[in-house]
Structure formats: C-alpha cells, structure tokens
Structure 1
Amino acid sequence: MCGISKEHLGALINELSGPWLAVREAGQGKRRGHARLRVAGAGPDHQLVFADRVLVTLVALRWALSHRVLAVLFGVSASTVDRAVAEILPFHRDRTMAQD
C-alpha cells in the first residue's frame, strides 16, 4: 500500500523515531515551561501510533489521497491525519535530501 517492503518500512520507522521523539519532547517541554512531571506514556493515547503516522504519510505521498480518504482508511478523523502528516513529513524530506 505504501510502495516499500516491510523490511524497508521497519528500517524507516526505526530511523525516524529517535529524531521525532526528540523534537516532540523538546516542543512539549517548551510549551509546558518545565520538565515532564509524569512518566512517558501517561496521559491520553494517540489515535495513531508513530508507525501508523509514518505509514499514513507514505500512503499520502504515494497515492496523493485526500486526508479525508486516509482518515476513513485508518479509522481516525481527517484532522488526526493532517497532524500526523505534518509531523512526519519534515523528517521524511530531511531523510530524502540527505540521500541525494
């Protein structure tokens, strides 16, 4: 569905997860104005886990589907897909440019 093998997808997810988590934690710390008070994982669950965020972004890039269609396919709202793609796309672009 996303145009790459399971092995390549797994490697891509592993490669992007570290930088994504670092940026996410830094952004949350900046918004809070202090370090995390609860353990990682506490609080509301994400509707799309990181691997699904990468997958929905790759499918959006490969098939140029609207975020509404992707929302139906992944069982989430269109705004969740918008947010997921907006979070992952900069990392994917950075990775693609580094390979050129």
Structure 2
Amino acid sequence: MSGVQSELFSPPPPLTSPAACSPVRHEENKYFIKVNNKVFVTVATAAAAAVKAVVVVVVVVVVVVVVVVVLAVVVVEIVLLIVIVVVEEED
C-alpha cells in the first residue's frame, strides 16, 4: 500500500526540466493530451483535420467541374466545325 501511495503523491518534475522548457514539447501539448501513456488528439486538431478534408474535397470538385466544362466546350466546338464543313460542302 505504501508503494501505491508514494506513486500517487510523488512530486511533479521541476518546471525547469528541459522537457518543460522545450518549445517542441509546448507545441505538442497544444495539439495532444497524454493520459496514462496514451495520446489523445484534442478537439482543435480534429477540427483542423476536418477543415483540411473539406478544403481538399472542394478543390477536387472545382477542378473536376472545370475540366468537364472545358472538355464539353471543346467537343461542342468540334461538332460545330464538322457541321459547318458538311453544310458548306452540300451547297
């Protein structure tokens, strides 16, 4: 029982330790929560990932729509040129 108590009431590491002062460690703490040696993603990181996913989907949809419109315009122009040539040959 005394081993459990000493583990529960052990003092935290000093704030001047290199891990506490490291800017990389501070950045990790903004985005991750460590509980019982398991890392959990915070809500901010999940929201950022969701925003990135939405932006990627919107960009892909816009690119696909632009490509389809350009191809449709090219096909219509080719068909019109063929029709014009055929009509002029009939005259």
Larger radius of gyration: 2
Q: TM-score, normalised by structure 2?
A: 0.28
Greater strand share, 1 or 2?
2
Q: TM-score, normalised by structure 1?
A: 0.26
